Each structure stands twice: as structure tokens, then as C-alpha cells.
A and B are shown apart, each in its own frame.
Chain A
Amino acid sequence: MTTTMTTTTTAVRLTGVTRRYGAVQAVAGVDLIIGSGEVVAILGPNGAGKSTTIEMLLGLVRPDHGSIQVYGQSPYDAIAAGRVGAMLQSGGIIEDAKVGELVGLVAGLHPKPMPAHEALERAGIADLGDRVFRTLSGGQKQRVRFAMAIVPQPDLIVLDEPTTGMDVETRRAFWQAMHAETARGRTVLFATHYLDEADSYADRVVLMRHGRVVADGTASEIKAGVSGRTIRATVPDADLGRLAALDGVSTVETRGDVVLLQCADSDRVLRHLLDHTTAHDIEVWSPDLEDAVLALSDAEEAVA
């Protein structure tokens, strides 16, 4: 007997969601399912539709078409039930309030929050509770927003470009704090245009472009699916025609004796190089996510 066990519940379900602002189709049909416990990055350039998608997911903006469910409820109901914590881009804070008051307020409005001081500690700003928000640095302000996002002990944390305005050090500390939250099993969705953040911290990357999802998978899937691997080898008197004809090779370039091969199946090409040529000093590397994103964006451009 076989039984299908559904062990993961769906945190977020977007079906055919669109939103237009005047002449601009900000979101042009997004389908997205996020399981409970996933850490998902929405990646894309400015104007890709990331923020609008997130605003619709949070019930701040109504979609023109399509449906949005958060834990099987409308965004409004999910928020009312205290299941969502969110951190939006700049603005939206009463500047003359103290940090402790802001985090305490959000805690007080939710049904099962953690103590405000604990949220401050987790965000790494335990010493800033008595400071007035206006007097903080950009990075400190972002951490206050982060504390406000986690203090409800939400099932889903949504972050829109959380590290904008942070220096390298603060970014690293921020993601460490974030990592502690994901380790607690929370579902996390964050928008970013920093590729390395998506690469390092997300289980899954959703690449958006012109209001559509153009790729969806783990960072390594996206990298591999797009441009495979690059092989670089020193091959004296290489038969370029032969190499280009190999299965899985997309392009061949030479720089003197050095051959650069773009290939979808690098293992097969390697075997050939070792067995049938005098190739030496062989290096194989994956394109980074940036290459993948650029390639995907170009492909999208070509279609459009």
C-alpha cells in the first residue's frame, strides 16, 4: 500500500497574479508556491516586479487578477492572525519613537510575541532600546525593522531588500541573525538585488524580470541550467572543430594554446580531453549566479 504523505504545508500560494500601474505592467502573471520552512530569495533588477509582488503578498496592494493565499488565508487574515512578520524598504517608522517602544508596540499588537528585549537581542541591538529611532545609522535602522519583523514570532518572514544601506560588516551580521531565524524553521521570503545574498542564504531562488518569473530553483540549479560549466585547458595543437562538435559543448574560444569551452555536460568533455588530447592544466568552474542571471535576462530580452 502506498500513501502520499504531505509533510509540508504551503505557506504562500500565488496564482496568476497581475498588477498594472498605469501603462506599466509591474507584475505580469506570477505563479509561486512556497512550502513551509523554505528560504526563498526573489532576485531581479529594479523594476522587475519584486516589490509589487511582495506588497500584494502582504495585502498592501490588491492584485488586478489572480489569487494570493498565505497559509490558506487571505493576506489580511494571515496578518490578523499574527502569522506574518515583514520588513519593508525605507520609510514607515515614527521617527521620534524609541527603539524599545517601536518593537514593544509591534509585540503588543500580536497574539503570541516574544519579549521585545529578546527581539532586540536577536537583531543585535540590545543596547539601542532607549535610543530615538531618528538618531540611528542606516544599518541600525534596518536592524530595528528586522527586530519588528521577528518579534511577533511569525511563521512567515517577508523582507524587501533588507540589507539596503548596510555596510559589508553589518550585512554579514544581519544575515547571521537571519540565519538563526531560518534555523528555527520559519519560512522566509526576501527580495534582493544582491546575487551573493540569494546564492548564500536562500534554499531557492526565484528570478524575476519584467514582472514574470523567469527561473525558479536552487542557486546551483539556476547556474547549471543556464550555462553549464566552463572548462579551461592548455591544449597544444587543439583540433577546435572536433572540440566544438562534441556533445554538450556550446562555444569554444582560444587564447593561444589555452582553450575555453562552455559546456552543458562538462564530465563528458573532460573525459574526451583526457583520453584523446594532450590537454593539461585543466580547470573547471561554474559560472556564478551573476552570469546565470545575465544569460537568463538576455534570453528573456530576446523573446520579448
Chain B
Amino acid sequence: MNLAYLRFDLRRMVRNKRLMIFSILMPLALFLVFGTHTEGARMDTGITAAAYVMVSMAMFGSMSAAMSSGGAIATERDGGWNRTLRLTPLKPYAYVASKVLLSLVLAIAPLVAVFVAGVAAGGVRLDTGQWTMVALTSWLGALPFAGLGLIIGYVATPDSVQPITGLTTMMVAAFGGLWLPVENMPDVMRDIARLTPAYWTGQTARSTLTSAGIDSRALLVVLAWTLVLGYIGLRRFRADTARA
């Protein structure tokens, strides 16, 4: 695959320090607030509260990063940049694939930051296998949100894309139980949480730390969300590029 477009996006993203810092600081700060004074408490599933919050915030970080790359699409659509790209051999699908890859690359920095804080400030101790599984699931858990970002990118205008992305991210994170564990909430909140993809991505990532191992039902729901959101995103994208 041609990575020229990914390189082009990444260089600009890295230059945009405000965005980078924000995408790292937000989950990091939330972890430091909620995850560092747990005094060795454990959740019902047996994992420490610190690890639970760490994984949730890591998931929140990679989810926000993935959503934000959709915003770029709205801006690029508006300025006629699409026309310029259509004058190059870049295939429309390669463009979308590049944006999804970008989501995954952007998700790395907040993940690493939260994990480091988890070890340094939260006293989280995991074995190599657990780290690997947690990292992989929280990282790839960004995929359904890359799809959601794609949809927003093709529906929103450049002016509306930031508030829409910000609001969606917060709603999904809050109601999906990434900020506060739904286990401690009223039943109705749990039911609502189960309607969001964030609950299931969080559940998948956290389940890798339990003795029961990865929650295969949660993983399936995440896959389903990825397919559905990805499909809608691709349809929006096709409708947009077929406009001529």
C-alpha cells in the first residue's frame, strides 16, 4: 500500500502540537484523578481498580484520537482537496484506508502515556502477556471509532465537525462507562452503556486482565460495531465521491 498519504497526514498532525498534547493530556489527567487513589481496591472481577481505570482511560484516549482523524476529512472535503486528490492515482479506498491507519497511529501516544502513568503513578503491575493483550485490545478497539469518525467526517461541515466530534466522544465515553465504571451505577445506566460501542471495547480490553480471560461476547459486539460503522462510513464516502 502507498503510504505517501499517511506520511503527509502524520507530518501535519505532529506539527499541530495543540491537538497532540490535548489527545494525550485528557486521558492522562483523567487517569491521575480517578486511578491513583484506589488504595489497592479490587473490582468484582478481581482486577485492581487502578488497572481498571487505566485500561478505561487508555481506551478513551485511543477512541478520541481515532475520532479526531474524521474531522480532517470534513475539512479536506470542503476545500476542494478531494478534487486535487482525484487528479492523482490515489484510489478513494486507499484514502479511506489511510485515514483508518492514521487513527491507529494517532492512538498510540495516548495509550503509551496512560500505561506509563498506570505503572508509575497507579502501581499497576501486569505480566508481559497481559500487557500485550491490554495494549492490543485497547489499540484495535479504536477501529469502530475510526468508522464513526469517518461518518462524521463525511456528514459534518468544517465548522460543525469539531463540536460534533467533541460531543460524540464525550457522550460515548461517559455513557459507555469509560470515565466511571458502570458497575457502580444504577441498572438503567448499565443498560444504556450496553448500547454504546465504548462499553464493549472497554469491556473487551479490561476482560483480558481477569482470570476468565478475554470476554468473547464483548469482542464479537466490538467486531459487529466495527463492521456496521465501517459500512456506513464507506457508504457516506461513496455518496460523497460520486457527486460529479
- B4 A105 Cβ-Cβ under 8 A: yes
Contacts of A110 in B (CB 8 A): 88-89
Contacts of A92 in B (CB 8 A): 79-81, 83-84
Q: Which of B1-41 contact A (CB under 8 A)?
A: 2, 4-5, 7-8, 11-12, 15-16
Q: Which of B186-244 contact A (CB under 8 A)?
A: 244
A98 to B86, CA, bound (A): 20
- A108 B89 Cβ-Cβ under 8 A: no
Interface string of A80-111 (1 = CB under 8 A from B): 11101110100111111100010011111111
Interface string of B171-185 (1 = CB under 8 A from A): 000000000000000
- A111 B8 Cβ-Cβ under 8 A: no
Q: Which of A67-81 contact B (CB under 8 A)?
A: 79-81
Q: Which of A40-76 contact B (CB under 8 A)?
A: 58-62
A91 to B77, CA, bound (A): 11
Interface magnitude class on chain B: 20 to 34
CB distance from B65 to the nearest CB of A (A): 19
Of all chain B residues, which has the CB nearest A100? B11
The B interface, classified by DSSP as helix, strand, loop or mixed, is: helix
CB distance from B126 to the nearest CB of A (A): 40
Of all chain A residues, which has the CB nearest B4? A108
- A108 B2 Cβ-Cβ under 8 A: yes
A108 to B6, CA, bound (A): 11
Interface magnitude class on chain A: 20 to 34
- A60 B244 Cβ-Cβ under 8 A: yes
A88 to B81, CA, bound (A): 11
Contacts of A109 in B (CB 8 A): 2, 4-5, 88-90
- A97 B12 Cβ-Cβ under 8 A: yes
Q: Which of A58, A59, A91, A108 neighbours the largest number of chain B CB atoms within 10 Å of its CB?
A: A108
Known: A61-B244, A86-B87. A105 touches B80 (CB 8 A): no
- B4 A93 Cβ-Cβ under 8 A: no
A80 to B12, CA, bound (A): 26
4 smallest A-B Cβ distances: which pairs? A108-B4, A92-B80, A91-B80, A92-B84
- 19 A–B contacts, CB within 8 A, in A order: A60-B87, A60-B244, A61-B244, A80-B91, A85-B87, A88-B80, A91-B80, A92-B79, A92-B81, A93-B84, A97-B12, A101-B11, A104-B4, A104-B8, A107-B4, A108-B4, A108-B8, A109-B88, A110-B89
